[in-house]
Every structure is written in structure tokens, then in C-alpha cells.
Structure 1
Amino acid sequence: MSGVEEVRLSLGHIELAAHLFGPVDGHPVIALHGWLDNANSFARLAPKLEGLRIVALDLAGHGFSEHRPPGAGYALWDYVHDVLRVAEQMGWERFSLLGHSLGAIVSVVLAGALPERVTRLALIDGVIPPGGEPKDAAERMGMALQAQLALADKRKSVFPTLDLAVQARMKGMVAVSREAAELLAQRGLMPVPGGFSWRSDSRLTLPSPLRLSEEQAMTFVRRIACPAHLIVAADGMLARHTALLEQLPFSQEQLPGGHHLHLNDEAGATLVADCFNRFFAIP
């Protein structure tokens, strides 16, 4: 990728890898990818965005970033804390967020918790975390604790060839194009005895011990004070949640494509870029 710089950010409690795009004096943006993806999620989109200084992170436990220490987990608010540390490292008091899926959820939580820090919110097919019913809290906690204990005995899948690992990613919980899977594999795969394995932390697949209710999650949405624009993928995860979409005080646009429309092909990345270039250009 031309015009992209690989960096490592030491945040004190963890070291994260990131890609830097755009002019040094551009509008500051932190880009956050989805669950089990990495910074290459923005490999097609970021070079098409104009006038922005983008730090596309590998979130903790993903890509080339460090895993959290033994005994720690991957709660939503820990990602939010990481992003604030990244802003500190970059010397950014105020900044925008560009988030896809899990990254969009982290962005909404941060912009709602500390509205004075965030200047714009650009979201792709993600808004609030999946809700939990308050009455199910104890049962969910028990299930999560059991899964945590069982994880110690599990071994990661090993794929004999790079191609088989890419094919597995193409057919993952959210299907992606071959080109998207290959881009994610560049930062996501590592050689191991017998072939290749995904380098993401196995703890990322554990169920959340605690889920916010939809009512709690919407308090973050309502506290957001900056302009926010949401792209809904026509064949993605949000399109069928019409009741939620109608409640959102954000400008919205539906574009053709699946959940990874910004990464699956150049046409999708161009549509998303055109949309966000207009959004960031509004004074």
C-alpha cells in the first residue's frame, strides 16, 4: 500500500500496532476495525479519504498488537480506554472516530461517555452492542465463566496452507470476499508447526460476562454531541433492525453490499469513501 506507514504505539499497559494514512496536518481520525479483523480492514477505504490523518489500529488481541495479559479480558470499555491512550500518544485532545462493526460500537461508547473529546463519528454497519435482558444477567455470567475455564484445554486451528486459512476466513461467521480475506490474512496469520494459524487472542471468542440492556446502550447514543453518519450495508447486520435505526439521531445512508462493504471490493470502498468525504467536508 502506497502512502501508509506502519507504527507501534506503546500505551503503558499494552503495545498496539497501527497503520498511519494521510497528511500529517490532516484532520485527526482513529479508525477501529471489527471483531477478529485488523487494521487492514481500512486498506481500501483509508487511501480514498481526503484530508484526514488516520490512525488505523490493530485492536488489542488482533493483528500485530499485543494480547492482554493473563487473567485480563476484552471488555468493551477496555477498548475505549485503549483509544483514549492512543489519542494521548498522538497528542490529540479532540479527534474523530471511524468505526466498523465492533469498532463502530466502541466509537459510540466513547463518543457518548466523553462527548467533548469526539468531533465526528463515521460508522459502518455497527452502532450499539447486542443487548442483554437484565433478568438473564446471572445465567449469562455463569455461561461466560464456564467458557473461560474451558478455554485452557482448547487448541487453535492449524491450516496446512495459506490458501486454506484464507478460505476459512472467507466462510467465517461473516463471509467476506477472497480479496478481503487475503488482506486480513496479511496481518492476521502466523506460521506455526504444521502450517498457519490466526494470531488473534483465543479469548476474543469468549461470550461477554455482562451485557448492557438496550436502554443502557441507548444512553450512549443520546449523549453524543458531534455530527454522526451511519452507513448501513443493504445485506449487512443492521438493515433488518429498522426499529433501532429509526431511533438513532444520526444521518444515515444505505449502500449496496455486505457487512464488509468497505473492504470486499474497490467499488464498495469507493461508495463508502464518497459518502464519508462528503460528511467530513461539511463545515
Structure 2
Amino acid sequence: MRLSPNPGNLSMGMMENFSVVLVPNIDFRYTMSAPSYDSGHSPTELQHTVTETGIKLAGRVWGVSPDTAQVRILALHGWLDNGATYDLFAPRILDIFKAAGHTEVCFVALDLAGHGKSSHRPPEVLYYLWDYIDDVLGFADEALGWDTFQLIGHSMGGHISLMFSAAYPDRIEKLTLLESVGPIGVPNEDHTSHLRDYITRRRAILSTGPSRKPTYNSIDDAAHTRGSRGITPLSDEAARILCSRGLEPVKMPTARRPSLGLAGALTAAASTEGTKYSWSTDVKLMLRPPFRWSTEAIASYVEVTPPLFHYMFNMSCLWQIFDSIPKFGSKPFPRQDRRIQEGGGPHGHWRASSTCERIW
């Protein structure tokens, strides 16, 4: 049964000052090294096609079954990542709750549409944050059966989580943003340039389609490229975790190679058909929406109702964005407990133990 949404009170009122808690410095290289954490927790796979959107979503489930959980946590990953971004994070969360006497915990890391093992949107449909919200709502209702739950979002997943919480505050028990300041507004005069850029990029991407995707000889090759040349740096171990879920095998066309025939003449002999790997992500994810919210519209989303834990790292490029938000006419993120881990970068949550212990 689909649950009725409650939009809550999203009016802009007086915003409270937020607290800042500084924690000990952690070396940046160590933070990004994604140390292994083996707690004996192994995830199970969950797939469900959302009735309203028709999207098949895949998720990884740690802990007890969703229908018996007393502590329910749904986690959303960042742009071009997948649910495996929580492979070190989730087991540590379960152990923290267990140490506190809570054993009926379920942690679900979702592959957002177009990412990981979830399906792509139809060819003519782009990826908008509000469509992700509908996906998450349907998945929580139908696949998990959760009336209320805790919501965690990293980067783009944080943007989606913030908007979901603003639209459905009665559904969220606690909101945790990892490296996210929510959707970013743009000045009104910038919309025309964004539209031109969008049309140019859309033509280029749709004219070539999946052929734009790079291919790799092995998962290790892809992991090394993702770790060293990606938009945000990752260790090979962390990159391999993402690649193991985010890659799919690609059959390459049969190659022809010259060989010597019986008479010594060169002949063409078919080589064995090869298999390479490519990202399963939809190429349309490289398209930014043609229109974005105005800074005034963003204000209605940042005044979230649920308890908010906001977590950024001091080498993040988001500091510049975060510090600029008050210039838009309001203080950012009321009613939050904002904590800073010194030394982390855009994927600082890979340091599972340090991050989790400061959030819970």
C-alpha cells in the first residue's frame, strides 16, 4: 500500500545557528586509503521494479531483513558511483549499533537509476533529482515497507536526500549528509548559458550513445583509472570496490589477424572474441539539466524538518560553495549538528571507522 505524503511546513522562518564540532586531524592520504574492515557482515542483493516509475532498482542489504528491522537506514550514493560506496561503511554502522544494544538493524545501499545494477531511464528521459525522489519513495514503500527510516546521502545522493526530507519530513527519522550542501542554485541570468551548453552536450552524447564509454581490459585496469584519473581520487582498493559493481562485460568485435597458410602465404585468421569491461552507468548522466533552481527556490529545501547531521571534510571543494550560501539571503541548514573531520576529501566516508564513529 502506498503511503500518503505529508509535505510538512516548508516556509522560511527564523533559522537557528548551527554548532561546529572540530575533531582530531587525520592525514589525508590515510583518509582516502579505504582500509579494509571485516566484521563478518555480508550483504544480500535486493531488486524491485517501482510501480509508479517502472524503474528496476537494485540494492545491497546488510543486517536483518527490512521487514523485521527496528533501526532502518537507507543510503544513497553519489553521481556516477553505486551502492558499493557503502561496502566499508555499512558493516561498521551495524557493529556500532550492536555495541549499543541494537541488533535489529537493516542498512540498505541503493543503486540509483542509471547506476550500478539498476536499470536506465528510457532513451528520451533525462535524470532529474525529483525523479530520483519518486524512485526512492516507491522503493521505500514497496520493496522495504518502511513508513519511517534514517536517510544517508553522499554527494548527489545527499542532494536527493535533502529534497526528499524536505518534501516528506514525517518519513525521515534522521538525515545525514556526507559531502553535500544540497542542490545548488544559479543566478537567474545564467539560465540561458546553461541551456545552450545543455543542447550542445545533448547532441554530442545522443549522437554517439554507448560508444562514448571507455573500455578496459580488466576490472583492475578500470579501478586504477578510476582511482588515479577520476573526478575525485580514490585508492585502488576503494576504486575496485566501486568497479566490481559498476562494470559490465562487453563483447568486442571479432578481430582478424594475419597468419601463414600452408603455402606460406599470408591469410586472415579469426582471433578469439575478446571481452572487455565498461561502466554500466547511463551516458545520459553526463548531461546536466538545462534548468536549475534559483537560489530563492533552494531556500525552501534547506530548512529541513528532520534532525540533520552534516558532515564535510576540510579538503573538500564544497567549502567554497557552503560558505557562499549565506550570501543568498539565508543561513544554511538550520537545526543541524555540523561536524568536520580534518583531512578528508570528497570520498572521506571510505574511512569507515573514523567517519561512522563520529556520526553515530
Asked if Structure 1 and Structure 2 have the same fold, meaning a TM-score greater than 0.5 normalized by the shorter chain, the answer is yes
Say yes or no: does 1:141 pair with 2:195: yes
1:159 paired to 2:216: yes
- Aligned positions of 1:33-112 closer than 5 A: 33-49=77-93, 50=97, 51=102, 52-89=105-142, 90-112=144-166
Q: Are residue 129 (structure 1) and residue 219 (structure 2) matched? A: no
In structure 2, the partner of 1:253 is: 339
Larger gyration radius, structure 1 or structure 2: 2
For residues 215 and 11 of structure 1, the distance between their equivalents in structure 2, rounded to whole angstroms, comes to 32
Give the match for residue 30 of structure 1: 74
Aligned residues: 272
Structure-2 residue corresponding to 1:280? none
Answer yes or no: is the 8 Å Cα contact 2:83–2:110 preserved in 1.
yes
- Alpha-carbon deviations, 1:132-155, whole Å to 9, x = none? 221122331232123222212332
Letter in 2 for 1:238: L
**Aligned in 2, Cα 1:142/1:239: closer, same or farther, shift over 3 Å?**
closer
Q: Does 1:273 align with 2:339?
A: no
| Alpha-carbon distance, 1:243 to partner | 4.1
Task: Provide closer, same or farther for how the CA distance between residues 130 and 243 of structure 1 changes in structure 2, counting only shifts above 3 A.
Answer: closer
- Structure with the larger helix share: 1
Counterpart CA distance in 2 for 1:120 and 1:140 is: 34
Comparing both chains, which one has the higher relative contact order based on Cα–Cα distances under 8 Å and sequence gaps of 6 or more?
2
AA partner of residue 296 (structure 2) = E
TM normalised by structure 2 equals: 0.72
Q: 1:244 aligns with which of 315, 319, 325?
A: 325
What is the aligned counterpart of 1:226 among 300, 306, 311?
A: 306
SS in 1 for 2:151: strand
Paired residues of 2:41 and 2:63 also in contact (CA < 8 A)? no
Shift, 1:242, TM fit: 2.7
The 2-side partners of 1:131 and 1:176 are apart by 28
1:188-221 per-residue CA deviation (whole Å, 9 max, x = no partner) reads 1112125211110000011221111232112111
Q: Is the 8 A contact 1:121 1:227 kept in 2?
A: yes
- How far 1:46 moved relative to its partner? 0.7
Is 1:8 paired with 2:61? no
Unaligned runs of 5+ in 1: 278-283
Per the alignment, do residues 173 and 228 of structure 1 end up closer, same or farther by CA in structure 2, a change over 3 Å counting? same
- 1:236: Cα distance to partner? 1.9
- 1:18, CA displacement in angstroms? 0.2
Instruction: Answer yes or no: is 1:190 the counterpart of 2:270.
Output: no
Q: Measure, in 2, the Cα distance between the counterparts of 1:237 and 1:85.
A: 33
RMSD: 1.7
